[in-house]
């Protein structure tokens, strides 16, 4: 589950960048939308990472696993 964390961040950034690039090309407003959408992609990526890690921690607590032995 945690192995996909890096991939989630990279994919979110690329989707935001691509969407912004397309909007800038369509509207002729370089690089406004590219930067805004890329920042939104970064935020979405970190939100996905937070949710994934939180779910992993909650699942670990629920099963009673402990790192200390």
The pLDDT tens digits of the residues spanning 38-53 come to 999 999 999 999 998 8
Q: Is 29 inside any structural domain?
A: yes
pLDDT band at residue 68 using 50, 70 and 90 as cut-offs: low
The whole-angstrom separation of Cα 29 and Cα 17 is: 14
Name the more confident of 66 and 37: 37
Q: Which H or E run contains 65?
A: none
pLDDT at 66: 63
Count the domains in the chain. 1
53 lies in which domain range? Answer: 2-60
The whole-angstrom separation of Cα 7 and Cα 11 is: 6
Q: Is 27 inside any structural domain?
A: yes
What is the 8-class DSSP label of residue 3? G
Of all residues in the chain, what percent are helix, strand and coil, respectively (each to 5)? 85, 0, 15
The whole-angstrom separation of Cα 50 and Cα 35 is: 22
């Amino acid at each position: 589950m945690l192995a996909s964390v890096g991939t989630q961040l990279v994919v979110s950034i690329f989707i935001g960048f691509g969407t912004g690039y397309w909007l800038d090309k369509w509207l002729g407003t370089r690089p406004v939308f590219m930067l805004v959408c890329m920042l939104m992609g970064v935020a979405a990526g970190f939100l996905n990472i937070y949710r994934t890690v939180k779910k992993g921690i909650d699942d670990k607590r629920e099963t009673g696993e402990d790192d200390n032995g």
